Amino acid sequence: MRGQQFFYEPMQREILTTELETRRLQQIEQEILTLKERHENLSAFVEDTERQLDAAQIFLPTTLMPDKFIDELYQAADFSQARLISVQAGDIHAADEIQSQVVTVKLQTNYISLLNFIREVLDGGRFVSLEKFSVEGGDILTCTLDFKIFSAPSQKIKSPAAKSK
């Protein structure tokens, strides 16, 4: 009986080693398949992102037009029944192909009108971000909002047709 035990132990170790190696190779195969799948999806993701960037460049105005944005702020205030106290355009900042400018708005309104005002500005016809805000008061709130507007100067925008040439 003791002789058979010596015979089976090395074989059991070899079987175990083979099973472990098989599992390891199956895991590597799965990782390769996952990477291949990601690569195919990554290509689609890159193409989709490029289309979105092209659409964003088309969406951005070629100049900041702060006067037009300030008019839009007054329209949003009228629509939401908020009272604008002051509007001030800050310095223009440029990074890569994008220009930006912060426009600071001070207004008095109630809570619901404030939410409507912000929604009206953010849902307007241009790309705008709400950078900073502060609120003071009770029933009538005094609010200071910093909106950032963006533009892409026309000489730097490449149309999709120009890219493909």
CATH for 110: 3.30.70.60
Residues 86-116 have pLDDT tens digits of 999 999 888 877 889 999 999 999 999 999 9
The DSSP bridge partners found for residue 147 are 103, 130
**How many domains are contained in the chain?**
2
Tokens (6 digits) for 20 = 């472990």
Higher model confidence: residue 40 or residue 128?
A: 128
Exposure string over 1-28, b if 16+ CB within 10 A, otherwise e: eeeeeeeeeeeeeeeeeeeeeeeeeeee
Q: What is the pLDDT of residue 14?
A: 80
Same domain, 48 and 78: no
DSSP SS3 for 6: helix
Degrees to nearest 5, angle at CA 122 with 116 and 127? 170
pLDDT at 44 over 50: yes
Give a yes or no: residue 164 inside a domain: no
Q: Which of 105, 125, 111 is nearest to 80 (CA)?
A: 111
Same domain, 54 and 72: no
pLDDT at 147 over 80: yes
Same domain, 148 and 82: yes
Same domain, 71 and 114: yes
The whole-chain average pLDDT of the chain stands at 81
Give a yes or no: residue 161 inside a domain: no
- For the segment 119-124, the average pLDDT, to the nearest whole number, is 89
Same domain, 83 and 142: yes
Distances (CA, A) of 102 to 19, 23, 68, 72, 155: 64, 58, 14, 15, 23
Q: What is the pLDDT of residue 33?
A: 83
- For the segment 35-54, the average pLDDT, to the nearest whole number, is 71
Same domain, 117 and 135: yes
Q: What is the residue range of 5's domain? A: 1-59
